[in-house]
Structure formats: structure tokens, C-alpha cells
Amino acid sequence: MYDTIIVGAGSAGCVLANRLSADPRRRVCLLEAGPEDTSPWIHIPVGMFFMMRSRALNWRYQTEPQPQLHHRRLFWPRGKTLGGCSSSNAMVYTRGHRSDYDHWAELGNQGWSYAEMLPLFKRGQHQERGPSDYHGVGGPLNVADLRQQSEISRVFVRAAGEAGYPLGDDFNGAEQEGVGFYQVTQKDGRRCSSARAYLHPIRQRPNLTVITRALASRVLFEGKRAVGVAYLDPRGRPIELAARREVVLAGGAINSPQLLLLSGIGPRAELEKHGIPLVHELPGVGRNLQDHLDVIVAHRDCRRASYGFAPSFLPRLLQSIGEYRRHGRGFLTSNLAEAGGFVKSDPTLSRPDLQYHLTSTILDDHGRRIWLGYGYSLHVCDLRPKSRGYLALNSADPRDPPLIQPRYLSHPDDLETLLAGVKTCRKILAAPAFDGYRGEEIFPGAAAQGDDELREFIRRRAETIYHPAGTCKMGHDPLAVVDDQLRVHGLSGLRVADASIMPTLIGGNTNAPTMVIGEKAAESILAGREEPAGRHREPAEPRPRSFLRAS
């Protein structure tokens, strides 16, 4: 019997495990479907390139065919280990725009404005630059300047300035707009995942149990109250755990709605289709799926100043291995997306709607397709897409991946925003700073010049930049799944705390905001706001129940 069971040891789950188990009177269990985070590719920053290929550490999801993208199935990598996606991402530390959070509050979600969220960002952070109005020190999550800045990344920042874009060195300060170098969640040249920051330092607490390779199969209920979790062990044997106070789902925008559906919570028709008994009808479970769609403009590098797959790069690589082992510096500390920024596709906009990530190599198909030689790639994504998709079940078996339908570009404005983004990429890459470096444009390619050709290029080449959100949205409208305390509407003893609760996608990388969602949920739980409140709630007192661990 545990007080709280957390399902998912990712960006938010590790935060919850840390904060809740700080109360020695509370017994906490943390379940993770993946293995321990012992692989060296997790901790060496450049190892993220290999994490894309891992079957043990990556869910490797595929979307449904996308009608607006030539019916392509898109690859959706998601972390499957302690730390979740924070153990496999590019470590970029951004929070989004202040207006993103103010908008959540305007939707009726009390406590979620930027002014109210900023103290949580500061509390969880250790900013190596020191404290300021926007940054904190002493928190678990280490935020650092890059120890490696490639020559091409520095050229890109100069070129952006020459192209007329403002330059900046803090995208989380007073003003988001600008181009520069990202800060990263690293410490001493190693990845600082949520597991390293929040979980490992407190792993030995006697009131905390961490179970890996545990695939949650359903939430257990007595009436309308969550009383435990069932999971499958590595041999596929079912095991049940009891929760005296609460179950918190922190599996992310894919796994949390999937588990709700498997547990009988969601649209009635979807559950009936798979023969799952209805526990509580919530039509919004799995709806409101949003993601940042991304497209790349890539060039050959005439000066070989980038990171290349070529024999001539081998001496630099060998040198960097020694440098990393001795000093924690060099190429192996690179997050590959060292520079980037936030700009407006139209100067009349009130906030940036485009984000750049400059990679100092030729990146194609998430790095799964290798290009020999040297080159550089400029990513651009639409920060606030209007297209909305959904997540459903393929079957009632928790081992089957869910059906993922993002419906990319289903809103026509999204294509036009990306078209504007490609043009801004070309503008920067044509700036004088790149003279002497600029080789052949690999894609879109010299033949793609008109708007129609560029739209076709986007349809053929656009991919996710790994920020799915919104599938268990927070709010009080008919499609809302959780309230502003992250309690599931109509049920007691059950919360969701991860990127799935975002009503609208934030304008930036989602890892830091997801950790702060974990902080926000822990704050609410520890304040004692565990009993149900809000629309359609049916309070129920917990009753004793015997749970047996499978032999």
C-alpha cells in the first residue's frame, strides 16, 4: 500500500517523486515502463544521435498517414527510461513566451499565469550564470551555457544579425525574441536529465520505491475513485499496487491518455470499440493533440567547419574523446542544436511565431539517414499551430502502440507559416557571414524557388520537432480532462501531470515547462488539495482493499 503512485518516470514524474517523497510520512511509488538510465549514450550529450536508434530506450512511435504530407507516417521518438524524453532530447532549456501562460490563466485556469509560474521555474533551477529576476540558483536542474560552440553555429548567429534579426543571450529573460546560443540542461559537460537532477540524489529515501520495466496497464477503481495501478512486469505477468491517496499519471502526451483509455476513461464510442468497460465518460481524452511541425534547409559546408561523417573528421573526434574524459569539454558535449532563436514571420505580430535550431551537420530523417561529408541544417518550426489531432487506441492491449493522428497542416494557416519560415531560413543562410562556407543547397534545392515549389517541399520533408502536447487538456470546457489542480474531472484520487495537460502548446521547447508542471502538481498535492472539486465530481471515501503481488 502506497500513499501516491506515479506512473511515468519522465520529465514530470521524477520531479513528483522528489517533491512528494520529501515528506517522510508519505510512501511514494514511481513506475517506469523503460529500463534504468545506465546507457552511456544518455549521459554523453552527443549520444542523443544514437538514442534515436535505440529500441530499448525509445518508444519509436509512428503516426497515422498524414493526408497533407503525402500520406507519410512520421517517426515520433519518445524517451523510454528513467528521465523519459529528458534523457534523450537536445537538452535545450526554454520556457516559452510569457503570454502562453497568461493565456492558460485567461481560459480560467487559476494559478497558471506567467507571474505565478515564474517562481516555480526559478525554484527548480540552478542557473550557472547566477540569480536574476528570471533565474534561480540552488535548484535541482542545472542550466548551463554550452561548453562547445561550433564554428558554423557562431557563423549562423552573425548571419542572423546581418539579416536584420535581433540577437540575444537569454530566451527566458525579459524578451524571448532574438537569435543566439541556447542554454542547456547539462552539468560538467554531462546531460542533466530530470532523473539525474531530481531522482538519483534522493533515490535512497526509504519511503520511495522505484520500479522499472513496469508497463502500466490500467488504473484501478472503486466506483469513481482511483485506488491503485495494474502493470505488467518484464515477463508479462500482471501485478497490482494500491494507492491510499492518489494516482498521478505522468507518462506524457502519448502514454497518459492511452492509459486513461485503457482504464475505461474517455469517449464512450472509443471504449466500446475495444470492449473496454466504461468507468467514466470524458470525451476530451486523447483530443486536442498539438505538435510543432518542423522543416529543414540544409547546405554543404565548403570549409569543413561543421561536424561531418567523413574520414577527415576522425582526428577531431579522437581528440574530442580525450578532451571530454579529461575536462568534460569538446565535441561530445555538443547538443548538436547549439544555436537558434525565436523570430516573427510578420513584424506586426505581438510575439515570435517561428523557432530556429541550427545543427552543424546535415540532418535528415531525425539523423537516421546519414549524409557523407560536411554540412549544416537550419530547422524552423511553427510555434503555434492551429491544426488539432487526436490519439486513440489500436487495441485494448497495453503493449500495442496507440493510434496517433496529428492531422498536420489540416489548418491552412500552418502551411503558410512554415512557408514564411523557409524563406527566413534562406535569408539568414544567404547572409555574408556564410560566404566561403556556403556550398550546394541540399534541400529544398536550387530548383525550389516559387511558393508552390516550397509548399510542395514542406509537404514532402516536414517532420516533428518532438513537442506533442494537449491530449488531457486542463480547463473547464466540455473537452477538458483535468481541472487547474490537474485532478481528472468526475473522478477522485486521480491526476495527470505532464505535457498532455497543456490547453495550448507553448512557444518553445517543452521539456522545462513539463518539469514545472510536475512542480505545480507536487505543490498542489502537498498543500492537501487532493479531494475532488469542480464540475461533475463524485466524491468517494477510500475503502480498504487487499492487493496481492503476483508470484
Which uninterrupted H or E stretch holds 521?
Answer: helix 511-526
Q: Which residues pair with 359 in a beta bridge?
A: 377
Q: Which residues pair with 180 in a beta bridge?
A: 340
What is the four-CA torsion angle of 393, 395, 400, 406, rounded to 10 degrees? -20
If one counts every other C-beta atom within 10 angstroms of the C-beta of residue 190, the result is 17
**Residue 451 vs residues 295, 348, 383: alpha-carbon distances, Å:** 15, 22, 21
CA 529 to chain centre: 27
Q: For the chain, first and last CA: distance in Å?
A: 17
Instruction: Please tell me whether residue 299 adopts helix, strand or coil conformation.
Output: strand
Q: How far apart are alpha carbons 65 and 279 in whole angstroms?
A: 31
Q: How far apart are alpha carbons 7 and 495 in whole angstroms?
A: 10
What is the arrangement of strands in the sheet containing 183-184, beginning at the earlier edge strand?
125-127, 141-145, 183-184
Burial class (CB in 10 A: 0-12, 13-18, 19+), 365: exposed
Backbone φ, ψ for residue 135 (5° rounding): -135, 150
Name the catalytic one among 467, 476, 489, 536. 467
Local structure of residue 37 (DSSP, 8 states): S
Contact call for residues 459 and 451 (beta carbons, < 8 A): no
467 an active-site residue? yes
Which uninterrupted H or E stretch holds 326?
Answer: helix 314-327
User: Could you give the residue numbers annotated as active site?
Assistant: 467
